[in-house]
Chains A and B, each alone.
Chain A
Amino acid sequence: MNQNVSLRLSEVRKSFGSTSIINGVSLDIFEGERHAIIGPNGAGKSTLFNLISGRYGLSAGRIELKGQDITNLDPQNINRSGLSRSFQITNIFPKMSVYENIRCATLWSLGYRYSLFRRISTIRSVRERADEIIELIGLGDRGEKLAGELTYAEQRALEIGITIASGSDVILLDEPTAGMSRAETNAAVELISKVTTQKTLLMVEHDMGVVFDLADRISVLVYGEIIATGSPSEIRSNQLVKDAYLGTQEGVH
């Protein structure tokens, strides 16, 4: 069983001052699964993502990525170990071209570190990967545009593009469809399932339609604790979940 675990959280805790946000989360994410974390506002979903990706340090507990301890590593070191994340609030490089955004995100994984003695446009592997990603996210004809000038939905697609460009096999997406129209959401779901084939996906999502469409398993986070983990149908029928979350605060699509 241990072999199949991509990401393992053991008794993870986080408090800011005396306020405790994450109260001992233990969770195994299996290799190749699409796992969604849902929960009411303020449950600590984004905080959990920030702990996993190294943005915040843990107060207690341990996180393993593919068997390797990544607890309290810097974000860049966690990324180099093969975990990549997107952000709820679009987090791109606005004054660079779309193509350059993607290209920069491919560099480390292809072995070009702080390289000073190569002309970037002559590196074939980088160009090929960037071309492939930009086509994949449907921004092929937007390459020369400044990222900051894209429409919101396009920026969300670019956000996902930057996240997958390094080829990490564990992907964290933080509310990838936040603020999107129904049509845009459908396009985003399609994009996400396309770019995460053969990968492990952990996502935070508010839109229950998206969650039940995409997720193989769902975990419900309430007040910093996971109260249930299971398949979509198990979660739908779970009484605890209904009480704490689905039935009361938000409707199920």
Chain B
Amino acid sequence: MARVFSKKRIIFWALVALSFVLLPMVFDGGFSLSMLSQMGIAIIFVLSYNMLLGQTGLLSFGHAVYFGLGAFVTAHIVNFIDQGAFWFPITFVPIVGGITGLLFALVLGFVTTRRAGTPFAMISLGIAEMVAASALMFTTFFGGEGGIVTNRTAGGVVAGISYGPQIQVFYLIAGWCLISMMGMYAITRTPLGRLANAVRDNPERVKFIGYNPVRVRWLMMTLSGFFAGVAGALATVNYEIITAEALGLMASGNVVLMAFIGGINHFWGPIIGAVLVTLLQSALSTYTQAWLLYFGLFFLIIILYSPGGIANILAVHAPVIKARLFKSLASSYLIIFLASAPLIVGTIAVIEILYRGGAILGMSALVSWSSSLVLIVVGLVVFRFAQRRVKSVWASLDLELRKRGFV
């Protein structure tokens, strides 16, 4: 291992592992435990996706195919175990999912990775549609609309672990999440990982340094399929049911959103996206049925104001904080924060009035309409003002940072 990871990295990973162990002790409710499990699965899935998008420059609209196929094959394997056809420890079924994802990515990737850019995106969309359609046609394998139901305790009790209690499933997910993160991070440090970056930047030039860009894409796709399959298998174990939705376009779109919100240009970015989106999906959906609309707005704002995602916001502030210059930004950020409050409240009010089908006409409606509109207008005006201020502060900050050699 010493060859693969430096000492500093080993300490870092140990800290990550420790935080995984401690997390369910801090957030110990049933709801938070299932949410943490969901986050772990999402992190593996979105990181596997970013091997394509962020590292190899492949915008795939069909990544859930490898997640879903890994999940379905795992579900059948678990059911075979349950029926006593053979025995295999549940702890290691993610390997089954991973190999499934890898094999499908190997075969389908052979076709899709011949092209990059828009043609690749379109072919990936076509394949996703094809697999989703097959899922509804081949009902013996995919279980039709009801999906495939499994029993995660099929392996019996091994070393006191039955995978009955959710906490045990969480630790299973956390363990595989750690291994997958380390694996995918290590890949970025290998010759292949670096060549993937080169292919992303300039595939034509890669040929003239002796490499076949198609081969690089294909290999990255295959590896990415493995980790997507691992995530799918864990989803099977976690939910004990898998339906065709898992490999559909919605699921493929979701992982694109997670990656972009988190930030595709940093290895850690998509993790932020996975955590945040999972949080939004589970938390927000308990408060309002219009949560998808809020989610859409949130995505829009991120793409408009920080195309590099949340990771990029953090990254540009790192040198400012290092140079101890954050104070100069703080006041403008406070104004933005204060301006956002009426803007957000006003927007939410409008959406909820419309969505809940409340009184749209009449005296009370007039009051609620006008007050929310006032809030929005006031918010917008202050926001514009603060935005301009932030811009000018940033311009002088940038000069200062360059002068001091922080950028």
Which A residues form the contact surface with B (CB < 8 A)?
53-54, 74-76, 79-80, 84-85, 87, 91-96, 100-101, 103-105, 107-109, 112-123, 162-163, 165-166
| Residues 256-299 (chain B) with a chain A CB within 8 angstroms | 265
Q: 7 shortest A-B CB distances, which residue pairs? A: A108-B210, A75-B207, A93-B201, A115-B191, A79-B210, A105-B209, A112-B191
CA distance A108 to B194 in the complex (A): 12
17 further contact pairs, Cβ within 8 A, besides A118-B190, A163-B208: A53-B208, A76-B208, A79-B209, A87-B205, A91-B204, A91-B205, A92-B205, A96-B201, A108-B209, A109-B210, A116-B187, A118-B3, A118-B191, A119-B4, A120-B189, A121-B189, A166-B210
**Best-surrounded residue of B197, B210, B265 (most CB of chain A within 10 A):** B210
Closest B residue to A122 using CB positions: B3
- For B202-245 the 0/1 string (1 means CB < 8 A from A) is 10111111111001100100010000000000000000000000
Whether B195 is near chain A, meaning CB under 8 Å from some CB there, is: yes
Contact B194 A120 (CB under 8 A): yes
Whether B10 is near chain A, meaning CB under 8 Å from some CB there, is: no
CA distance A193 to B216 in the complex (A): 34
Contact A104 B195 (CB under 8 A): yes
Min CB distance, A155 to chain B, in Å? 12
Min CB distance, B330 to chain A, in Å? 29
**Contact partner of B209 among A87, A96, A166, CB < 8 A?**
A166
- Chain B residues contacting A108 (CB-CB under 8 Å) are 209-211
Contact A93 B211 (CB under 8 A): no
**Contact partner of A93 among B4, B191, B205, CB < 8 A?**
B205
| A–B pairs, 14, beta carbons within 8 Å | A87-B205, A91-B202, A91-B205, A92-B202, A96-B198, A107-B194, A114-B195, A114-B219, A116-B191, A117-B190, A118-B191, A120-B191, A120-B194, A163-B208
**Contact partner of A100 among B194, B207, B210, CB < 8 A?**
B194
**Contact partner of A74 among B200, B201, B205, B207, CB < 8 A?**
B207
- Chain B residues contacting A120 (CB-CB under 8 Å) are 189-191, 193-194
- Chain B residues contacting A94 (CB-CB under 8 Å) are 201-202
Contact B197 A100 (CB under 8 A): yes
Closest A residue to B188 using CB positions: A120
**Contact partner of B194 among A84, A103, A162, CB < 8 A?**
A103
- Chain A residues contacting B216 (CB-CB under 8 Å) are 114
Whether B315 is near chain A, meaning CB under 8 Å from some CB there, is: no
Min CB distance, B137 to chain A, in Å? 36
CA distance A101 to B206 in the complex (A): 10
Contact A76 B191 (CB under 8 A): no
Whether B359 is near chain A, meaning CB under 8 Å from some CB there, is: no
Whether B186 is near chain A, meaning CB under 8 Å from some CB there, is: yes
Min CB distance, B196 to chain A, in Å? 10
Contact A95 B212 (CB under 8 A): no
CA distance A107 to B198 in the complex (A): 12
CA distance A61 to B55 in the complex (A): 40
Whether B111 is near chain A, meaning CB under 8 Å from some CB there, is: no
Closest A residue to B5 using CB positions: A119
Min CB distance, A196 to chain B, in Å? 17
Min CB distance, A252 to chain B, in Å? 32
Min CB distance, A209 to chain B, in Å? 28
Contact B208 A93 (CB under 8 A): no
CA distance A109 to B209 in the complex (A): 9
Contact A119 B205 (CB under 8 A): no
Whether B192 is near chain A, meaning CB under 8 Å from some CB there, is: yes
Min CB distance, A61 to chain B, in Å? 21
**Best-surrounded residue of B195, B206, B212, B215 (most CB of chain A within 10 A):** B195
CA distance A79 to B201 in the complex (A): 19
CA distance A54 to B186 in the complex (A): 34
Contact B190 A75 (CB under 8 A): no
CA distance A105 to B211 in the complex (A): 9
Contact B3 A93 (CB under 8 A): no
CA distance A46 to B207 in the complex (A): 17
CA distance A84 to B209 in the complex (A): 7
CA distance A87 to B200 in the complex (A): 19
- Chain B residues contacting A107 (CB-CB under 8 Å) are 191, 194-195, 209-211
- Chain A residues contacting B187 (CB-CB under 8 Å) are 116
Known: A91-B202, A92-B202. A104 touches B207 (CB 8 A): no
Contact B202 A165 (CB under 8 A): no
